[in-house]
């Protein structure tokens, strides 16, 4: 509840400062920071499917500042409680829809040539082989990867950044840890990770809750030496 109230307050402040003009350009640091907060909050609302009338929010702040249309605390709390319940219901429905889409995708994908499924439900496909050396769960690995949603949207890519990433296999999502251990050094695999082996029912950046995620992973090195080490 407090999170919703705080979010509304922030976005209302931003909209009032911006005067709700499409050509608005921040002039000061405070303007720019406020504008950034507004854009971030609106993006978060949009990703979570929260239907907010931003004009009404801005007008509420302006009217309150002018001392008009005072509402009782009990009315405010009742409205906000009902709103929070509606948001949670929409989010639960959205999660279940994403889970269903993911299950349908995996059911079809497992029939594709070369795709194998582990006991956990992880699906993988060999793209190119390496030297036969596999990492253990306790190892550190260096990889290049591209992550996508099932609709083809890229949400992260070390390839696009031009810089591989190094991490301990014990500190990543279960689907990554299991999938990379199947790989041999130098190989490239496709990993199709069910939501329960990824981020579950939580939003993760632009990854919707309940999503299956797909990675193309190249295992560059197992237990890479630190830069500058002999």
> Active-site residue numbers?
145, 155-156, 173, 199, 215
* Residue whose entry in the numeric block shows the structure tokens 């014990």: 170
* Residue whose entry in the numeric block shows the structure tokens 């500042």: 65
Measure the CA angle with vertex 39, ends 35 and 45; round to 5°. Answer: 145
For residues 210 and 203, what is the distance between their CA atoms, to the nearest angstrom?
8
Contact between 189 and 164 (Cβ < 8 Å): no
For residues 24 and 9, what is the distance between their CA atoms, to the nearest angstrom?
20
For residues 150 and 212, what is the distance between their CA atoms, to the nearest angstrom?
7
The candidate with the shortest Cα–Cα distance to 9, out of 48, 57, 53, is: 57
Strands (E), the chain: 115-117, 123-128, 140-149, 154-157, 165-168, 188-193, 213-222
Contact between 128 and 215 (Cβ < 8 Å): no
* Residue whose entry in the numeric block shows the structure tokens 């009404």: 56
The candidate with the shortest Cα–Cα distance to 183, out of 147, 152, 150, 137, is: 137
Q: What is the DSSP letter of 207?
A: B
For residues 11 and 50, what is the distance between their CA atoms, to the nearest angstrom?
13
């Amino acid at each position: 509840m407090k999170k919703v109230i705080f979010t509304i307050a922030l976005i209302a402040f931003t909209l009032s400062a911006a005067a709700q003009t499409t050509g608005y350009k921040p002039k000061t640091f405070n303007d720019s920071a406020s504008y950034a907060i507004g854009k971030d909050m609106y993006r978060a609302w949009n990703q979570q499917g929260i239907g907010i009338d931003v004009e009404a929010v801005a007008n509420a702040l302006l009217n309150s500042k002018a001392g008009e249309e005072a509402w009782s605390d009990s009315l405010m709390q009742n409205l906000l409680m009902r709103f929070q319940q509606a948001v949670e219901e929409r989010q639960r429905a959205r999660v279940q829809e994403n889970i269903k889409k993911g299950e349908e995708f995996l059911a079809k994908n497992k029939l594709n040539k070369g795709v194998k499924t582990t006991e956990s439900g992880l699906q993988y496909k060999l793209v190119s082989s390496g030297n036969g050396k596999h990492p253990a769960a306790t190892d550190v690995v260096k990889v290049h990867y591209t992550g996508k949603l099932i609709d083809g949207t890229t949400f992260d890519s070390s390839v696009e950044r031009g810089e591989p990433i190094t991490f301990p296999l014990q500190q990543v999502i279960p689907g990554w840890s299991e999938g990379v251990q199947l790989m041999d050094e130098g190989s490239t695999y496709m990993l199709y990770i069910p939501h329960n082996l990824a981020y579950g029912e939580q939003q993760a950046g632009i990854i919707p809750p309940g999503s299956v995620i797909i990675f193309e992973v190249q295992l560059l090195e197992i237990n890479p030496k630190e830069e500058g080490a002999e």
